[in-house]
Structure 1
């Protein structure tokens, strides 16, 4: 059982349930507006889909103690439970930079580990803030080939403005970074040194600038896939 958590005597973070169904439309609208503001994509979901996640016990919601919606995240499974994704992380604009996103993500991670203890937990993001949160939870950056091969998984990216980059490179490259938590690695007595996000974040930012310059500078019709591959390989 996942215990509700009180954060800073201000918020409560818990598994969503039928009492939160009324908030599904508001959550979906905020997801869409946030994606537009960032100029990137997020898997677009309907209020019905969000409601289903709430009723299945596969969503985390944060509220103020007075009952106002603060943030949300849900979990999805792929390849018969081999992979679990913590998706759709969103925080209301009035509560951003409060640290609540970290608590929502941590609670979603706890829920994923409880419901699917053997699954690899995955994520794809362009957000440095999300990468920092994931790194603290034990995720490592991985190539996109280490993520699910299921077409349904990648279909979730189709609403992203950069989806053509993913398709043009045959799912080998994108502006997003793939991240993965492998429970098997964490069972070993001698663990490899964790990825130091703070130490390497400047390197990541530089890598992102290079990727954008290479992947976005030409129109699809003008781009040679082999040429893109060669240019990206030279900066790894």
Structure 2
């Protein structure tokens, strides 16, 4: 499996990514708006996204958004293809897009809004902390993006102070010596290589055959 910073070569997957983002939100009954093809195309072309692929097949995706003139960054639209869920892909993608965000915007606060427990766990491992909504960007354009969410009325009734999503925030100054920035590229790539190797072993045909009988009832991870 390859997890790469996006480029024009990944545009071939944009329609599949867009549809799965929308379908996943509909299945959960919450969440993200359907992003336009043009919007996602721009993110991919500008290198502001991470794309995971395997043998020419799209595996997962996440992109960067900036708010309040670069003071805040969000890693948005995290999605994993149904064929590759429950295999640790979401964690690998979040690690990669987090590194990209820190490299591009080292002084920015990185935040997220999510109802997914799995995503909360990943964010927590990266150094995010739960916060109240007032600590997030107050950029109107960001909050306008919630209008297509089924829970938007709840957000408005709560005067944008809270909703069903949990707010989480990574503040560079609160993390010792900005460890995510100072970690060398080689060290990070070594970590990713180890995780990818583990992914390959765990999902090899031999391993999957051995696990098949005991794993038939495994539930899908929604991201």
TM range, normalised to the smaller chain? 0.7 to 0.9
Q: Where does residue 201 of structure 1 map in the other structure? A: none
2:143 alignment counterpart: 154
Tell me if 1:97 matches 2:86. Answer: yes
User: In the alignment, is residue 174 of structure 1 matched against residue 170 of structure 2?
Assistant: no
Aligned residues: 178
Unaligned runs of 5+ in 1: 1-10, 190-236
In structure 2, distance between residues paired with 1:40 and 1:157: 10
How far 1:76 sits from its partner (Å)? 0.3
Task: Name 1:84's counterpart in structure 2.
Answer: 73
Matched residue of 2:59: which SS?
Answer: strand
Other-structure match for 2:9 = 19
Match of 1:28 among 5, 11, 18: 18
Give yes or no for the alignment of 1:63 onto 2:53: yes
- The alpha carbon displacement at 1:188 in A equals 6.0
2:86 aligned counterpart, secondary structure: coil
Whether 2:29 is the aligned partner of 1:39: answer yes
1:135 has 2:105 as partner = no
Match of 2:215 in 1: none
Cα distance, 1:187 vs. partner? 3.9
Find the aligned partners of 2:39 and 2:171 in 1 and give their Cα distance: 27
> Root-mean-square deviation (CA), in Å?
1.1
Separation in 1 of the partners of 2:58 and 2:162?
Answer: 36
1:123 matched to 2:105? The reply is no
- Give the SS at the match of 1:22: helix
Inter-partner Cα distance in structure 2 for 1:38 and 1:137: 25
Between the aligned partners of 1:70 and 1:155, the Cα distance in structure 2 is 29
Matched-pair contact (CA < 8 Å) for 1:24–1:48: no
Distance 2:114 2:165 in 1: 5
Which structure would you say has the larger RCO, counting Cα contacts within 8 Å and 6 or more residues apart? 2
Q: Deviations over 1:119-140 (max 9, x none)?
A: 0000000000000000000000
Q: What is the aligned partner in structure 2 of residue 204 from structure 1?
A: none
In the alignment, what sits opposite 2:97? 108
> Does the Cα contact within 8 Å between 1:74 and 1:108 map onto a contact in 2?
yes
- TM-score, normalised to structure 2, is 0.78
Q: Tell me the secondary structure at the aligned position of residue 34 of structure 1.
A: helix
Q: Provide Cα deviations, 1:117-165, integer angstroms capped at 9, x if missing partner.
A: 0000000000000000000000000001111111101111111111110
Aligned to 1:72: 61
Q: Which residue in the other structure is 1:6 paired with? A: none
Shift of 1:14: 0.7
Q: Within 1, Cα distance between the matches of 2:172 and 2:67?
A: 16
Shift of 1:43: 3.0
